[in-house]
A and B are shown apart, each in its own frame.
Chain A
Amino acid sequence: MLAVRDRRDRAAFGRLFDYFAPRLKGVAMRSGLGSGAAEDVAQEVMLTVWRKADKYDPHRAQVSAWVFQIARNRRIDLVRKENRPVPEEIKVADYVEDDAGQILAMEQEAGQLKAALGQLTPDQRDMIEKAYLGELTHKEISDRTGLALGTVKSRIRLGLERLRHELTGMR
């Protein structure tokens, strides 16, 4: 991803495509789209990944979390006429060097998160997927995912603290 961001490296983008496009297509097909329409979604999301690569900040998000956001934004923009409300961006004063330690910490947290997801029962797992892939309303999320959400939440608390400290440091 950083090679795509910094050098507009097409071979690297090809590898990102090979990894994410089939997954994005899979998610789109979950929502009931046919194969052709789901490929269109994957194509559109990957084009946005290429075009917005300069916005990618490895200290704030893993690549998969960033691609997840792009896919989500596209889905909202498709169904809404109104502006999609987005939080203010944090303004970073100067370009900061990539901090390998920070990025490593985030990768470790992502590993712990995966482990937590792996501990869910199949039913809980199904509910969590539906919640995060936009298939449940917020009321359904409160009614149905309580326990599973707690399990996931307990594992992301550590990462949360780190993110929060970092945000405070940016102000």
Chain B
Amino acid sequence: MTQIKHHIPEPLLVAYAAGSLEQPFALVVAAHVSLCDECRAGLGAHEAVGGALLDDQIADGVSTSMKDALFAMLDEPAEADSEPTFDRSGVFPGPVMQALKGQPPRWKSVGGGVRQTLLHAGDEGSVRLLYIPPGKAVPDHGHNGIELTLVLQGAFRDETGRFGVGDLEVADDTLEHTPIAELGAPCICLAATDAPLRFNSLIPRLLQPLLRI
């Protein structure tokens, strides 16, 4: 396993442990945890805090009829999970394969050799896979909200540093950056935003509604 240098910031990990993180970010966190023992252990620790708080909650008496009804249900067979599960495939961790429903990504060109596969878009933001050929840049952009980018293959550099496989970059609305893929293997990233990106040139901005980014 390569050395992961950029991890999940604490508040995001707490929000994931608490179940309050938006779906696009939750997918990136689940994918990073799949690759990173340190953050997996961190998540376990935060869940232990959750458990300790549960222990300390004020108990509210429950009715005996509810308990009886529950015990009557214990012998019923549980309904099988309706969703099929998909395992890691190639560079794509399990949660990403789950979002792809087990299929290989269907890449669509967004110009400059960069391709994307949209995994999910909704009120809470969107999450996509990006394919950046070696030496190419993702168009210079800023953010209205927060963008999480997790590297799955290759590496990229931007104004803040180098990001290799497993590294997570957190960009907020103060960062204008131009990620450039390193030479070598194409860079494949999982990227999530909670607001549309702002591109700094006219053409990408016109394309924005079409690309849903």
Q: Do A and B bind each other?
A: yes
- From B33, B54, B70, contact of A46 by CB (8 A): B70
A138 touches B30 (CB 8 A): no
Q: Does A160 contact B (CB under 8 A)?
A: yes
State the Cβ distance, A120 to closest chain B Cβ, in Å. 11
- From A42, A64, A86, A160, contact of B51 by CB (8 A): A64
B159-198: which have CB < 8 Å to A? none
Q: How far is the CA of A113 from the CA of B46 in the complex (A)?
A: 10
Given contacts A64-B52, A88-B95, contact A141 B15 (CB under 8 A): yes
B19 touches A73 (CB 8 A): yes
Interface centre among A27, A87, A117, by most chain B C-beta atoms within 10 angstroms, is A87
A61 touches B51 (CB 8 A): yes
State the Cβ distance, A138 to closest chain B Cβ, in Å. 4
Residues on B with C-beta less than 8 A from A139 are 11
A17 touches B67 (CB 8 A): yes
State the Cβ distance, A80 to closest chain B Cβ, in Å. 6
Q: How far is the CA of A60 from the CA of B45 in the complex (A)?
A: 10
Q: How far is the CA of A109 from the CA of B38 in the complex (A)?
A: 18
Q: Does B108 contact A (CB under 8 A)?
A: no
B26-59: which have CB < 8 Å to A? 26-27, 29-31, 33-34, 37-38, 40-59
Given contacts A25-B60, A88-B93, contact A128 B45 (CB under 8 A): no
Residues on B with C-beta less than 8 A from A104 are none
A132-166: which have CB < 8 Å to B? 132-139, 141-142, 145, 149, 152-153, 156, 159-161, 163-164
Given contact pairs A60-B44, A87-B31, enumerate 6 new A-B contacts (beta carbons under 8 Å).
A35-B60, A87-B30, A88-B88, A129-B53, A131-B18, A141-B15
A-B contacts, 8 of them at CB < 8 A, read A14-B71, A64-B51, A65-B51, A72-B19, A129-B53, A138-B15, A149-B11, A160-B42
